[in-house]
Amino acid sequence: MIKNSEIKLIIACARTELTPEVIVNIKEQVGKIRNWQELIYLASFHRVIALLYTNLKKTCPDSVPHEILNRLKKLYTDNAVWNLSISIKLLKIIDLFNKNNIQVIPFKGPVIAEKAYEDINLRSFSDLDILIKKKDVLTAKNLLAQHGFKAEIILSPEHEQKYLEHENSISFYDKNNLSIDLHWEITGRYLLNHIYFESIEDRLQTTLFLGKKIISIPDDVMLVYLCVHGTSHCWDRFEWLCCFVELIKKQNEENIINAFYLATAMGAKRIFLLGLYLGQDLLDAQYPEKLEKAFAYDQGVISCANKIKKQIFEQKTYSDGDAAWRFSLVHLLIRDSYFDRFRYLVYLFTMPTIKEWTKYPLPSWLTPLYYLIRPFRLAITYIFGNKLSNTFISSLFQRVKEMITKKKN
């Protein structure tokens, strides 16, 4: 049970529709706040400053200390300016790609803000995510480089092909530190079945964004994706759940049921049910009776939801790094089958990450060794700690490279 008044107020304000009961709750929680700075900190961490400010201003502005309301207003305004700026840049990038015959689907960020909240100012985001076809990645990479963006990882041409086979995205940064995540698969290979541009190409939708028509991911696919993304991070940003609930409110019953069937086909049935349960439990979301029964009968889903709520709202410190979630027990327990749990464990401990690609560059013909380097690195890190393990592995890796060089000569 949540006891913290700051968290209770954040939950009450994290929505676009306020019922009379919610308004009463907001006013009650405002009267109990003792640490307004903590409230601002938590709302910033969970990316719901805009929702907190708009709903406090709407319901009880006179009950909030003047300096706090002004602080929230400034944060809201700064976010709105940033959102508009990054949205304009997104349209320019879409136009750039289209002129070079590259189809692009923007998702998350300002696009999902427009779809879910119908107001890009009500969501906080720091980067842009776009989905393209795998065959277009290298062309898109070169285009971004020509326009001032630098890739987070520099690879030789032969390594780039291997990277495309094993990974699902690459990040780019400009001089203002704007990040663009270029995806050719959007689930992070977190599921047995992946979502590529090509797999949804015949179902793409057209939507208006800042008055311009763009293509977007089908709503049922987006709902499943939001649950996969949220669960992969154990929903540690509350806004992710708010966004899911706001988007699902815009759907008719058929679309929601279709999303459930899609999630089931993708091996993400319980992941989807977890998102539904959290949305109902924390934000009073309503769904078709069939789906409410589905998670009500699955005690494993409810157990995972309770673990997530405890971690999000009862932790004593909040950090920006989410690496610890990669090893959360929730990731195993929420799987649809024992086989999927086993597959995920194998994936987690053997699939190379950007750390292996950048710190231990191998000749292209030796890239399969990355599947051995990762578990070895994890084991050494667990035994000796991060600093000593890096030194040890780097030294060992250098010796291997020298041996390979000698054999070639």
**54 and 38, same structural domain?**
yes
Residue 286: φ, ψ to 5°: -115, 140
The residue out of 349, 364, 396 marking a domain boundary is 349
DSSP letter string, 100-135? TT---EEESHHHHHHHHHS-GGG---SEEEEE--GG
**338 and 356, same structural domain?**
no
pLDDT band at 275 (very low <50, low <70, confident <90, very high): very high
Q: What's the domain count of the chain?
A: 2
108: nearest Cα among 122, 127, 136, 121: 127
From CA 193, how far away is CA 267, in angstroms rounded?
7
From CA 367, how far away is CA 394, in angstroms rounded?
17
Tell me the three state secondary structure of residue 373.
Answer: helix
Q: Please report which residue ranges of 237-369 form alpha helices under DSSP H.
A: 238-249, 253-265, 269-283, 289-296, 299-314, 329-333, 338-350, 354-359
How many helices and strands, by DSSP H and E, does the chain display? 20, 7
Q: Which residues of 31-63 are buried (b: 16+ CB within 10 A; e: fewer)?
A: eebeebeebbebbebbbbbbbbbbbbeebbeee
Residue 313: φ, ψ to 5°: -105, -10
190: nearest Cα among 340, 320, 309, 329: 340
**361 and 329, same structural domain?**
no
Average pLDDT, the chain: 87
**313 and 268, same structural domain?**
yes
The residue out of 349, 364, 391 marking a domain boundary is 349
**pLDDT per residue over 166-195, tens digit each?**
788 999 998 888 899 999 999 887 887 889
| Residue written as token pair 């990277």 | 163
The boundaries of the domain holding residue 364 are 352-408
pTM of the shown model: 0.88
Residue 194: φ, ψ to 5°: -100, 160
**379 and 282, same structural domain?**
no
* CA dist 115 → 107, 206, 220, 229, 290 (Å): 10, 12, 13, 17, 25
**pLDDT per residue over 191-221, tens digit each?**
878 899 999 999 999 998 998 999 999 999 9
Average pLDDT over residues 117-133: 93
**383 and 283, same structural domain?**
no
**212 and 103, same structural domain?**
yes
**383 and 264, same structural domain?**
no
**pLDDT per residue over 42-79, tens digit each?**
999 999 999 999 999 999 999 999 999 999 999 999 99
Region of 284 please: left (phi>0), alpha (psi -120 to 50) or beta. Answer: left
Bridge partners, 42 (sequence order):
none
pLDDT band at 317 (very low <50, low <70, confident <90, very high): very low
The residue out of 326, 349, 372 marking a domain boundary is 349
**306 and 392, same structural domain?**
no
**293 and 227, same structural domain?**
yes
**pLDDT per residue over 321-333, tens digit each?**
444 455 788 999 9
**170 and 120, same structural domain?**
yes
From CA 268, how far away is CA 276, in angstroms rounded?
12
DSSP letter string, 293-331? HHHHS-HHHHHHHHHHHHHHHH-S---S--GGGGG-HHH
Residue 191: φ, ψ to 5°: -115, 165
Residue 110 sits in a domain of what CATH number? Answer: 3.30.460.40
Radius of gyration of the chain (CA): 23
**131 and 99, same structural domain?**
yes
